[in-house]
Each structure stands twice: as C-alpha cells, then as structure tokens.
A and B are shown apart, each in its own frame.
Chain A
Amino acid sequence: MSIIQINNLYKSYGSVQAIKGITYDLSGGQIVGLVGPNGSGKTSMLRILGAFDMAYSGEVLIYGANPGLKTRKIVSYLPDKPYISDRLRAEQIIETYAGFFEDFNKDKAYQMLDLFKLKPKQKIREMSKGMGEKIAVLLTMSREAQIYILDEPISGVDPASRKIILRSIIENFSEDSLMIVSTHLLNDIEKIIDQVVFLDEGTIKISGSTDDLRAEYGKGINELFEEIFQ
C-alpha cells in the first residue's frame, strides 16, 4: 500500500525550477535511497515531505493527508541544515524533544548519545560540527515514527559514527515503516537500501529495487550512479 503519493510535483525558487514534475508512490516496509548530484532536487523534495516547505504545486499525500502539522506527528524528519538551539545542553534538547513528540523514546536517545560518546551536559555550541550533526541524527532516530526522512544523515560524520547511524536505520526499520535517506555517499549505504531513486535536474532518472538493478545492469548501485552522472 502506498504511504506517500506524489503527483505531478513542481517546486521553484524564483526562476529556478528545482523539481520538474515528479509523480511517484512509495509503499511501506522499505528503505529508499534518494540520490542525485548537487542541485538535483533531493533536499527540496524532502523539505516538502517533511512539511518544512508548503510552497509547491502538485499533490503530496502522506497517509492521505497533505504535509502539515498532522503529518509531522508521524514523520521524523532530519533536515539538511541544523535547526536546534546551540545554547542548550544535549540532555535539555532530548527532554525538549521528548516533550514535543509523543513517539519519542528517551532511552534510545541516551543510548545513542552514549554510542556517539557525547556528553549529556555539553552544550551544542561547545560541540564540533560533526558532534552537532550526531545530535540531530539521534533526535530523529529516537522517535518511533512511521516515516523517517533523513537528508544526508551520514555525510558530516566520521566512519565509526556512520556505522552507528546505519545500524540505527536497520534497527528502526519495521515492516510498515518507510525510510527515505538522501545521500551522495552511496558506497556506504547501498547495501542497506532496497529501493533507489536517482534524481537528475528535478526529475526521476532511474528508480527501482537495488537488487533488480544489480541484476539488470550487472553493476553496483554506486557504479551505476557514477556512470549515469559522470
């Protein structure tokens, strides 16, 4: 069953068209990789799905509803830019989030904080850029949401943390949840996604099951990507 339906989606910033007519359905129980070069429309699309951007044309339905306050309750969204106040301590942010989202699992948040070797009392502005990104990821992954939308969750962190994040994606995955992960680090992620969507200049170039594409082209997904966008 389709959880997300996108019909004839267009998005422009002034005269720049970021998304040029995308129609796509996404069903539950899968981890979808959204890939494409810079400026292909990945972040624009995820901002719309995450209900951070309502100025688009076409139709977007998440469980039958347009992205908005209602869908934010079931969609855990990791935006591409930091959005948390840097004056707060890690534990204060976790508490704030726990108060804000009913599906927030505090135990999970503290567990990930520990895995990332971050200190609960440390303020965000005292953290490195990578540490701040880990906080954002752990907040997103600590929700027990039906849909996870992760915009570049692994690109700003070290390899060991990448592994922790990828594991948390597998751990959070369930038969009826949907995960959409955008990245340009396909190498790291290609084994954990089962569907891939290649975006190019605001349209979908190739999409499908990763194993089917491997069988069809006799190539890895990363290799295929490099060949298409060379």
Chain B
Amino acid sequence: MSYLFDESQPIYLQLIKIFKIKIANGTWQAGQKIDSVRNLALDFDVNPNTVQRALAELEILELTYSQRTSGRFVTEDQVLIDRLKHEMAKNKTQDFVLQMQAIKISDQQIKELIEQIITELADKQKAEE
C-alpha cells in the first residue's frame, strides 16, 4: 500500500490524521495492539521517528497507551473513540458548510443538497452490490 503525503506539510501531522481515521473506523479496534514503529514506517514508507512522533501525539490525546514491555495499544475507552468520531465528523461538516456559504448557497439549499447526495450515493451503492 502506498500513501500519498502532501510533502509541503509536516508528515507527522498527516500520519496523526491517518491513524485517527483508523481508530475512528475500527481498522484499529479498541484495545488492539498497534503494529511496531518500524513496521508502520515500512507500511507508510516514512521515517520511524516520524511514526514515533505521531504515536506520541495520539498518546497525549489518550487515544493510545503504552505498556512498558508489551508495546502500544488503542484506548479501550469507547467513549473517547466515539468522541473522536464525532469531532472528526463535526470538523468536516463545518468545513463543508463554510465552503458552501462562501459560494452563497443558502442553509436550506445545503440541507437539500445533503439529502439529495445521500440518496444518490445510496442508489449507486445498491447498484454496485
């Protein structure tokens, strides 16, 4: 698997985002052991210290924790994970709404547009099944 990083931004910040998504969508499940720094560095083709730095930030946010001998784990606190998910969703939605407002789309139109897109995507996904 190859990830595309935006090289004009610090890589560790981009890794934090990627790891957060993994925790939010359950690719990394609550309480699950996280792969070693070296393996993650190899997976993402990045410097091991960069991975270390990103994981350390997640630890500050209490999304992960370290056990001295056995390694690093995803938090077992489902409330924290739900909060992360909610925050990510909220931020994205906020960005979206601000972008819509910037091009003078009314609040009513925004809501209609969301409904419409949800329906369209659902139909598409059904057709693919």
Contacts and interface: CB of A to CB of B under 8 A. Distances in A.
Contacts of B10: 211-212, 214-215
B50 A222 contact: no
B45 A31 contact: no
B34 interface: no
B49 A30 contact: yes
Contact of B7 (A29, A212, A215, A221): A221
A170 B8 contact: no
A211 B13 CA distance: 9
Nearest to B47: A194
A158 interface: no
Nearest to B6: A220
Given A171-B38, A211-B50, A223-B7, A192 B12 contact: no
A167 interface: yes
A76 to B, nearest CB: 18
B97 interface: no
Interface in A1-41: 29-31
Given A211-B12, A211-B50, A192 B7 contact: no
Given A170-B38, A171-B38, A173-B38, A214 B8 contact: yes
Contacts of B8: 214, 218-220, 223
B42 A171 contact: yes
Interface in B44-78: 45-50, 53
A219 B8 CA distance: 4
Interface string A202-230: 00000000111011001111110000000
Interface string B1-39: 000010111111100000000000000000000000010
Interface string A136-171: 000000000000000000000000000000110011
A194 B52 CA distance: 11
Interface residues of B, number: 18
Given A211-B12, A214-B7, A214-B10, A192 B42 contact: no
A193 interface: yes
Interface in A161-189: 166-167, 170-171, 173
B41 interface: yes
A101 B1 CA distance: 36
Contacts of B41: 170, 173, 192
Given A211-B11, A218-B8, A220-B7, A191 B38 contact: no
Nearest to A221: B7
A215 B12 CA distance: 11
Contact of A173 (B7, B48, B53): B48
A91 interface: no
A130 to B, nearest CB: 21
Contacts of A171: 38, 42
B84 to A, nearest CB: 23
A55 to B, nearest CB: 34
Interface of B: 5, 7-13, 38, 41-42, 45-50, 53
Across chains A and B, which 7 residue pairs bring their CB atoms closest together, nearest first? Answer: A220-B7, A211-B10, A194-B47, A194-B49, A191-B46, A214-B10, A220-B8
5 contacts: A31-B49, A191-B50, A192-B41, A192-B45, A194-B47
Interface of A: 29-31, 166-167, 170-171, 173, 190-194, 210-212, 214-215, 218-223
